Amino acid sequence: MRFMSIVISSQPMQGPTPALMEAMGKLTEREIKSGRMVDMGGLAPLAQGAHVAIEGGKLRVTDGPFVEAKEVIGGYAIFEFRDKAEALAMAKEFMQLHLDHMPGWEGTCELRPMIGHGVDMKCGEALQSAQLA
């Protein structure tokens, strides 16, 4: 099963500390060698990006920078794992590095199975999602 993990934070965007970079580097090397990590990367600040929205039946482009402070995605990684339990264990290990090497940082790692690669979104699940919301 393929998973994407997305790191989100509402704090002002900072790059990883050198200690965190080093720790993530070791984890990355281990995971690439074992064939589990497919891809990973950091995203430049939202100020350099843009939003293209659909609202009220219209397209609206908002170029950065953005006024409202909101949760911003900082980075992502794509892994190939046996199951969700394995994915969760990796995400916890990865976030533990943030706790250990970037004190004071707060944020969330969102873990999502990727469609295809052994995972399909059936009509039933789509309906269930609609009912839950």
**Binding residues vs another protein (CB under 8 A):** 3-4, 6, 11-15, 39, 41-59, 61, 63, 65, 67, 69, 73, 76, 84, 87-88, 91-92, 94-96, 98-99, 103, 105-116, 119, 121, 123, 125-126, 129-130, 132-133
* Listed residue (80, 94, 110, 73) closest to 26, CA to CA: 94
Least gap, CB of 1 to another protein (angstroms): 10
Per-residue tokens: 104: 């004071």
Shortest gap between Cβ of 33 and another protein (angstroms)? Answer: 20
The Cα 83–Cα 80 span in angstroms is 9
Identify the helix (H) or strand (E) that includes residue 7.
Answer: strand 2-9
Other beta carbons less than 10 A from residue 31's beta carbon: 19
Alpha-carbon distance of 111 to 89, in angstroms, equals: 11
Shortest gap between Cβ of 80 and another protein (angstroms)? 13
Q: How far is the CB of 70 from another protein (least distance, A)?
A: 9
> Among residues 36 and 40, whose Cβ is nearest to another protein?
40
> CA-CA distances (angstroms) from residue 23 to 7, 17, 79, 101?
16, 10, 18, 8
